[in-house]
Amino acid sequence: MPFVTAAGVEVHYVEYGPTDAEYTAVFLHGFTTDHRMCVASFEPSFRDRSGWRRIYVDFPGMGQTRAPDWVGSTDDVFRITRAAVDAVVPGPYAVAGASYGGYIAMGLAAAAPDRVTGLALVVPMIVPTHALRDVGDHRVLVRERGLRGSELYEELAVVVTAETMRRNDEEIEAAIAVADQAAVERIAANYGGTFALVERQERPALVVLGRQDNVLGFNDQWRQMGQWPRATFAVLDRAGHGLTFEQPALLTTLFDDWLDRVSQNDLHLT
């Protein structure tokens, strides 16, 4: 698996598709997880899309990217991630981020508006301080008989089935288990970034949120992104912060449409 040196850190990433593809997409995962959550959620959309190169990055201290002791804030994560993307993707790219990855993705879109051809945000974090977020109460709406997940899962889950539990175990909890806890704690202590976030995205955008997301909610995002001129904005019922595996079919449909809009953005269709 490849690594790239970025801002003094060996950043791990996973790559699919031809390096000379017409289009490139960069994917950014949630806090303390790794590239696996994005690969599982978004790769299915590329089975019939040969013209896309896909880059899935591991943040410092997460996945296979080691974090030196000086990495201690989201500003550091952003600076390293931006350097990694610049090194691996020299030209334009679309960027998709989930949860914390959405926050970093919005920073990338603000930093390089002429390079970012589209922005997809799935349950994105935009308010770093939890106490200031506009979120609702936790509710489990679907539960297969006799199933109960881990303590962490039960605090967040809206749909509890054998499949959602499998994906949570493989994509979320397995990644959390291998994260560098000391680095994670340093970053969490300085969770809010000082970098600019994109305020108005003029390129094709997608924002997908869970109606029952008790971690990040959906109202803060609506107030900030609801009037973006090229955005599809969707709030899905029966979905919480685990939306990627609680509503995978709807997410794939919306993501497919976003990919179409990004690839056709410069075309004049008649």
SS3 sequence of 197-227: CCCCCCCCEEEEEECCCCCCCCHHHHHHHCC
Contact 190, 73 (CB under 8 A): yes
pLDDT recorded at residue 137 = 86
pTM: 0.96
Helix axes 248-263, 35-42, angle to 10 degrees: 80
Q: Of 64, 57, 55, nearest to 18 (Cα)?
A: 55
- Contact yes or no for 253/44 (Cβ under 8 A): no
Residue 244: per-residue pLDDT: 97
d(C-alpha 100, C-alpha 62), whole Å:
12
Phi, psi of 47 (to 5 degrees): -60, -35
| Domains of the chain and CATH, by start | 3-263 (3.40.50.1820)
In total, the chain counts a number of residues equal to 270
For every residue of 9-23, DSSP letters joined together read EEEEEEEES-TT-SE
Per-residue pLDDT of the chain (270 residues; tens, 9 = 90+): 699 999 999 999 999 999 999 999 999 999 999 999 999 999 999 998 989 999 999 999 999 999 999 999 999 999 999 999 999 999 999 999 999 999 999 999 999 999 999 999 999 999 999 999 999 888 999 999 999 988 889 999 999 999 999 999 999 999 999 999 999 999 999 999 999 999 999 999 999 999 999 999 999 999 999 999 999 999 999 999 999 999 999 999 999 999 999 999 855 433
Taking each continuous run of H as one helix and of E as one strand, the counts in the chain are 10, 10
Q: Residue 269 has what pLDDT?
A: 39
The packing angle between helices 181-189 and 74-88, to 10°, is 110
Q: Which two tokens stand for residue 51?
A: 């013209």
| DSSP E strand boundaries for 105-256 | 116-122, 142-143, 159-160, 205-210, 231-236
Residue-level pLDDT at 162: 96
Q: Write the CB contacts of 255 (distance below 8 Å, at least 6 apart in sequence).
A: 42, 45, 96, 120, 206
**CA 244/CA 126 separation, integer angstroms:** 18
Q: What pLDDT, on a 0 to 100 scale, did the predictor assign at position 1?
A: 64
pLDDT at 136: 87
Q: Give the distance between the most distant pair of CA atoms in the chain.
A: 55
Q: How far apart are CA 30 and CA 104, in angstroms?
A: 10
Q: Which residues contact 7 (CB under 8 A, 6 or more apart)?
A: 79, 80, 83, 84
Which strand (E) or helix (H) includes residue 56?
strand 52-57
